[in-house]
Amino acid sequence: MSIPMADVLSHLDENLHLLYQEQTEEHLFFIVEVRSSSACCPSCHYISHRAHSRYCRNVDDLPVSDRHVHLQVLLHKWFCDDSDCPVKVFTERLVWLHSYKRKTDRLENIIEKIAFSTNCLTAEKVCRAMHIPVSHDTLLRRVKATSFDLTPSSFRGHR
């Protein structure tokens, strides 16, 4: 069964261009590039039109048709031409992927919901059944790293 690649990638970014695809029984693998003519500096918000170089990021996304989805995303680095900015070269930012993350925001949200709905061992089994490779240790670290508002409930009686 062949899955339309435009459907898989269209939900992420309109500037993504598919360069290569591979489908197996368990995996979908894509090499995509971000086609952009400019980028905004994260430090000073100056719009740069001068590309520096390209680099590759490996990213996992939500499974499609019971298949693990892995993306290699080719991004640009840009020169910041603002003389007052301390950043001289910056990397392109994507709305659907935070800096230094290896999973899309969509996948991160699903993993977090699963991790908070049950214990970490069961959450790992659920993730594996959904073709999301994640260990119980990772799930536990994510739960522990989350901060909560510890204000007492208004429904709780104070004595």
- Whole-number pLDDT of residue 147: 78
Whether 97 shows a pLDDT value over 90: the answer reads no
Q: What is the mean pLDDT of residues 95-108?
A: 87
Whether 146 shows a pLDDT value over 60: the answer reads yes
- Whole-number pLDDT of residue 53: 92
- Whole-number pLDDT of residue 66: 85
pTM of this structure: 0.75
Query: What is the dihedral angle through the alpha carbons of 121, 126, 131, 137, rounded to the nearest 10 degrees?
Result: -20
pLDDT band, residue 29 (cuts 50/70/90):
very high
